[in-house]
């Protein structure tokens, strides 16, 4: 009777174990890819709110906002950034900075801080209000480009002063959130001259 070839049997077992291990690794990688792909899709899902219902939409990268959402996003930013008093200054500025690129927002905030706006509010018991005259946006190509024209009213004691404010801006899509309901972000914001007719 021929004795078993233990070396050959051992090598065969090792091959089987190696193949099984490779299959397990490939299987785990495949399932991990499927899981994280599905998770990412769920995180990127956005919702469209209409008068009648709220519907799940396509991924944020495929969703095109309306011109009304674009205009309202810029109006919200402009109002929050330029209309406040001593009691709500910090809250409104922080809310505005969530609607704009961080670097651009920091530049605008530092300019306002250097101007001593909060100190003026506290010292003179003053406040500002914002009236939007118009918003123009071209949303046919991203980044979207537009301009906004407004008047800031500075109120103190029984007097007031009108300060015209206008700016050109670019805007891109981003994820929607409670702080950014339209899922848009201003990436450039440059003030420019604006001379509206004087109200009589």
Residue-wise burial string across 28-55, b where 16 or more C-beta atoms lie within 10 A, e elsewhere: eeeeeeeeeeeeeeeeeebeeeeeeeee
Cβ neighbours, 10 Å, residue 61: 9
Task: Give the homologous superfamily in CATH for domain 65-192.
Answer: VirB8 protein (3.10.450.230)
Choose among 160, 169, 142, 143: nearest CA to 76. Answer: 169
Tens digits of pLDDT across the chain (200 residues): 545 555 666 566 666 767 666 666 667 777 667 766 655 555 445 444 444 444 444 445 577 899 999 999 999 999 999 999 999 999 999 999 999 999 999 999 999 999 999 999 999 999 999 999 999 999 999 999 999 999 999 998 888 999 999 999 999 999 999 999 999 999 999 999 999 887 65
What is the reported pTM? Answer: 0.69
Match 């300019």 to its residue by tokens.
Answer: 111
Q: Is 187 left (phi over 0), alpha (psi -120 to 50) or beta?
A: alpha
DSSP H helical segments within 45-157, as ranges? 67-82, 89-97, 102-114, 117-124
* Residue of 160, 148, 154 lying closest to 188 (CA atoms): 148
Task: Return d(Cα 23, Cα 39) in angstroms, integer.
Answer: 24
127 closest CA partner among 97, 87, 91? 87
């Amino acid at each position: 009777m021929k004795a078993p070839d233990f070396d050959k049997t051992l090598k065969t077992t090792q091959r089987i174990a190696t193949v099984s291990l490779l299959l397990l690794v490939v299987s785990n990688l495949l399932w991990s890819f499927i899981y994280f792909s599905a998770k990412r899709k769920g995180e990127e899902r956005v919702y469209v709110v209409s008068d009648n219902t709220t519907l799940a939409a396509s991924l944020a990268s495929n969703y095109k906002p309306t011109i009304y959402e674009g205009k309202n996003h810029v109006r919200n930013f402009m109002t929050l950034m330029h209309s406040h008093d001593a009691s709500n200054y910090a809250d409104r500025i922080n809310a505005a900075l969530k609607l704009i690129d961080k670097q651009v927002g920091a530049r605008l905030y530092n300019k306002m801080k250097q101007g001593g706006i909060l100190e003026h509010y506290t010292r003179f018991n003053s406040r500002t209000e914002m009236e939007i005259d118009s918003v123009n946006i071209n949303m046919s190509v991203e980044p979207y480009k537009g301009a906004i024209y407004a008047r800031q009213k500075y109120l103190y004691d029984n007097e007031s002063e009108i300060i015209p404010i206008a700016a050109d801006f670019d805007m891109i899509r981003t994820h929607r959130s409670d702080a950014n309901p339209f899922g848009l972000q201003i990436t450039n914001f440059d003030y420019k001259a604006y001379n509206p007719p004087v109200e009589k």
